[in-house]
């Protein structure tokens, strides 16, 4: 069995800098099942959500959020409501 995050492309925020307390995010396209690859940059479907993991312990897996949950989180973060 393969990890459901094996084919996702994770990244850290440019705001993270050299700090060690970071999370990594991977976009999960809605046109393919979660864990089967990040084709967002290839124009495959709308965003289906996001996977978030600890950058220091990526082997421990990720938390998956649906598109509505992820959008709500980003909106709250942008408007200082967290």
- Tell me the C-alpha distance between 29 and 16, whole Å: 24
R_g of the chain computed on alpha carbons: 13
The answer, yes or no, to whether residue 42 has pLDDT greater than 50, is: no
Show the tokens assigned to 9: 């492309």
What pTM does this model have? 0.70
Best CA proximity match to 4, nearest among 40, 30, 28, 22: 28
Q: Locate the domains of the chain by residue range.
A: 22-78
| Half-sphere CA count of 1, side-chain side, radius 13 A | 2
Average pLDDT of the segment spanning 7-28: 82
Quote the pLDDT of residue 19.
65
């Amino acid at each position: 069995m393969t990890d459901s995050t094996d084919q996702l492309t994770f990244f850290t925020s440019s705001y993270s800098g050299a700090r060690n307390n970071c999370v990594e995010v991977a976009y999960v396209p809605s046109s393919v099942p979660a864990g089967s690859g990040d084709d967002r940059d290839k124009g495959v479907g709308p965003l289906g959500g996001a996977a978030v993991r600890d950058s220091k312990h990526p082997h421990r897996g990720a938390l998956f959020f649906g598109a509505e949950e992820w959008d709500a989180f980003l909106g709250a973060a942008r408007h200082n409501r967290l």
